[in-house]
Structure formats: structure tokens, C-alpha cells
Amino acid sequence: PASSSSTTSTTVPPTTTTAPPTSTGSPTTSPTSTATTTPPGPGTCPATPATVTYSNSKLPDPFGFIAGGRAATKADFACRQAEISTLFQRYELGTIPGKPQSVTASLSGNTLTINVSDQGKSISFTASISKPSGTGPFPAIIAYAAPSIPIPAGVATINFNNDDIAAQQDGSSRGKGKFFTLYGSGHSAGAMAAWAWGVSRIVDALELVQANSGIDVKRLGVTGCSRNGKGAFIAGAFEPRIALTIPQESGSGGSACWRLSDAMRTQGKDVQTASEIVGENVWFSTNFNQFSTSVPKLSVDHHELAALVAPRGLFVIENTSMEWLGNEATNGCMRAGQKVYQALGKPDAMGFSQVGNHNHCQFPSSQQADLNAFIGKFLLNQSTNTNIMKTDGSFTFNEAQWIDWTTPTLS
Ligand code: MCU
């Protein structure tokens, strides 16, 4: 393949000084905006209290502001998305820093090198790109580690070495990896927040080299399986330049709601819960520890990850045979999340497909058509039927038990 090299520098104001509309001035409030519709100017969103006191054993209302009132319009909902982003970062993930002071990128053959400097510290990391033959520009899927879904013809793959940005060996990995070299080992970010930041820097880099990369920055997907599926879901939720998010078998900590996983545990199931996950690894911020045994006090749950991705493309792949991953909890949680897409008038921009009887992260051919439909519509500009919400499990989601809010039609 022809080797090309280009280096471009951007100098952008450090976003540590830019606050989202819901900023409360709390040091843990993040500058990251996830809104895909332009939110109203600062001061027009209901302020999120600096300390949120919350208790609800049902799934939190994705449309209801902490300070009271509900979103009625898409602009209101953009405010609520900023609030949900703030809450996730403050209480689960840790802060995802915004654009660093400097990002430069170079492309040599298939290797994209990303150099980042912020507040006097610098790191450099690489991502490898494999492209279809031809000139492109091609859509691309950023895969945490390596993809465990079949990437269709016409779509490039970008391998993201997420463990290089934040380690995830076990509980002793806290604060280790290049993100922490840049921002300090005591930074609030758990590994998933650090990885999402890394994905955003890859997108920055792709924008810088787009003249000769052959990659279309407007048609990017992100995927990962299992722990990396949890991570891919977070990246899609927090990076609005991702057009299609494909978490695979992410389970508890990803597409399962904590409340629903806890309910499975109460029924005697062997399921991963918040109380287990905080000890197993460093995917979450230590800010989450306080909620691990009191999930009802958490002001968000994971159906609201879908609320952050909305109305962009989201295709959630799950495995019915994995009780540990909260098979029943992912089905219910994503059906709750789907309501946000309904409210936005885009019900078929989010799909859920759960198929069992295969090994963990071994994509079954029976899900191929569903995956192709989503990649077709969101990355290949095809007109496909993405009306896909299905499980082969024997469970049903008892909405009346878990949802005490209505789904508005956002104007
Ligand atoms: C599905 O992700 C995790 C799961 O949360 C962990 O409890 C288990 O140890 O590892 C899974 C995984 O990443 O498998 C590859």
C-alpha cells in the first residue's frame, strides 16, 4: 500500500474552561457535550444540583430533569442529555476530559499516530487501519482490540489498543495507562472513560488526516465485545461524531441496567452486579463505589446510555445464554432505552438482537442480517429495514414494574 504522511496541528482552547449548559461548577462536572442536537445556550437548561440526592428502585425517567420538569421538545432533551452525561461522569465513569490543547496526527502506511499534549504533558499512541481495496473514502469501524463481529466489504477497520490508554488487568490497574500519564494517576476517570477519551482523539486524528486517509470521518462506527463492549457503548454515548455504536455482549456494566441485574440476583441468578463489578476491575470510577450496594440511589441507569447515543445509530448485540452478563437485564434495559428513540421519532435507529447457544463473543450467523441492516443504513448509505428489537430468551420485560414514566413525543 502507498505510504503517505501528513501532520497537522490543531490548537484549540482547553475545554477544561468550557462548561456544558448544565454545569454546576462542581469540579467533577465534565465539559463533554453529548448532545447531537444543538442545545440551547448556557443558562437555558435546568441546572443540575451540585449534589444529587436520589432514590428510586424503578428505572430513572430519561426525560425528567433532576431539578424537576420534563423534556417536551428536542431542545429540552438536548439539555437532559447534557445532564445525563454529567451524572454518568460524576457518579459512574469519572470525568471524560474535552479536547486537549494540542492533537497532531500522522499517517504512515496503515499506522495512524496520534500525539496529544495537554497542560505540559504529552503522550503518543497508534491505531492501525485496514481498508478495502480501492480509493474510498470508506466508512470505518473503530474496534476495541480486534473486532469480533464480521466487518462487511466496503468498510474499513481501525484497531484501537484500548488497554494502552487505560489498563484493565484487574483491580490493581487503577490509574495505569497513557491517559493517566497525561492527566495523572489520581484522575477520576475509570478505564472506560479514559478509552472513550481515546476514541475521541482517534476521531480528531482522522479529521486531521482525512485528505489522504481514505476514511470518511462522517461514517464512523465503534464496536467491542464483553468488557470492550461496555467500553464501546460508552465511547458511542460520549462521542457525537460516532454514527453507529455496536456494543457486543457488553452485559452488566454495558447494556444491562444495574437495577435489573440486581433483581436477577435477588431471584438467585448468577449475574454480575454493581457490587461485584467495582471489585473485579477498574472499568468504573471510584466515584461509583458508593452506589454499588445501593443502586436505587443512583440517579441514572444504563437505558440512559441509549439516551445519550440517540438519535444516532445504535445496534446492541447480546447473547441469551450468558446469565452472568445479565441476559434478562439487557433485554429489559434496552427496551426501556428504545423509548427515547421513539420519543425522538427515530425508533428504528436503535436495535437490539439477542441470540443464544453460542460461545461468548462468537458472533452467530443468525445475527448477520441484523448487523448488515444497521451497518448498511448508518455506514454504507443503504436503505435497509432496521426495525429490530428481538430476543430468543423466554423472559419478558415487565414494563409496569420498572417504568413509571410516560414516553413523550418530543416536538
Ligand atoms: C462481559 O464482560 C466481562 C464481564 O463483565 C466480566 O465479569 C468477566 O470477567 O469478563 C467478561 C469479559 O470481558 O470477557 C472477555
Q: How far apart, in whole angstroms, are the C-alpha atoms of residue 22 and residue 260?
A: 28
Q: What is the mean pLDDT of residues 240-251?
A: 99
Q: How many angstroms is it from 118 CA to the middle of ligand 1?
A: 32
Angle of CA points 384, 392, 322, to nearest 5° = 110
ω into residue 46 within 30 of 0, thus cis?
Answer: no
* % of residues, the chain, pLDDT over 70: 90
Q: How many angstroms is it from 242 CA to the middle of ligand 1?
A: 24
Residue 39 has a pLDDT of 52
Q: What is the mean pLDDT of residues 226-237?
A: 99
Catalytic residue among 85, 106, 148, 226: 226
Evaluate if residue 356 carries a pLDDT over 80: yes
Lowest-confidence pick of 26-35, 75-84, 301-310:
26-35
- Which residue's CA lies nearest to atom 13 of ligand 1? 227
Band the pLDDT of 25: cuts 50, 70, 90: very low
Residue 241 has a pLDDT of 98
Determine the residue of 163, 223, 226 to mutate for testing ligand 1's pocket, defined as the one with the most ligand atoms within 8 A of the Cβ atom. Answer: 226
Residue 14 has a pLDDT of 34
**CA 164 to chain centroid:** 18
- Which residue's CA lies nearest to atom 15 of ligand 1? 226
Residues 316-336: tens digit of each pLDDT: 999 999 999 999 999 999 999
Q: How far apart, in whole angstroms, are the C-alpha atoms of residue 100 and residue 116?
A: 7
Q: How many angstroms is it from 227 CA to the middle of ligand 1?
A: 5
Q: What is the mean pLDDT of residues 89-114?
A: 98
Residue 115 has a pLDDT of 98
Output the pTM of the full model.
0.91
Residue 36 has a pLDDT of 46
Which residues neighbour 361 within 8 Å (Cβ) at sequence distance 6 or greater? 148, 225, 226, 248, 249
Evaluate if residue 147 carries a pLDDT over 80: yes
Residue 26 has a pLDDT of 34
Q: How far apart, in whole angstroms, are the C-alpha atoms of residue 39 and residue 19?
A: 12
Residues 43-94: tens digit of each pLDDT: 689 999 999 999 999 999 999 999 999 999 999 999 999 999 999 999 999 9
* ipTM of the shown complex: 0.94
Q: What is the mean pLDDT of residues 343-352?
A: 98
* Pair 244, 374: CB distance under 8 Å: yes
Q: Which atom of ligand 1 is the closest one to the Cα of 276?
A: 7
Per 3-state DSSP, the chain is made up of helix, strand and coil in percentages (nearest 5) of 35, 20, 45
Residue 44 has a pLDDT of 87
Residue the block writes with cell 477544561: 16
- Which residue's CA lies nearest to atom 7 of ligand 1? 272
Catalytic residue among 4, 321, 358, 360: 360
Pocket flag, ligand 1, residue 285 (CB < 6 Å): no
Band the pLDDT of 5: cuts 50, 70, 90: very low
Q: Put the strands of the sheet holding 350-354 in their side by side order.
A: 8-11, 102-108, 111-118, 121-130, 156-160, 138-144, 215-225, 244-248, 313-318, 350-354, 389-391
Q: What is the mean pLDDT of residues 191-208?
A: 98
Residue 154 has a pLDDT of 97
Evaluate if residue 162 carries a pLDDT over 50: yes
**CA 377 to chain centroid:** 20
Evaluate if residue 34 carries a pLDDT over 70: no
**Exposure string over 112-129, b if 16+ CB within 10 A, otherwise e:** bbbbbebeeeebebbbeb
- Which residue's CA lies nearest to atom 8 of ligand 1? 227
Mean pLDDT of the chain: 92
Is 226 considered catalytic here? yes
- Which residue's CA lies nearest to atom 6 of ligand 1? 227
Q: How far apart, in whole angstroms, are the C-alpha atoms of residue 242 and residue 237?
A: 9
φ and ψ at residue 327, rounded to 5 degrees: -50, -45
Q: How many angstroms is it from 226 CA to the middle of ligand 1?
A: 5
Pocket flag, ligand 1, residue 251 (CB < 6 Å): yes
* 127 three-state secondary structure: strand
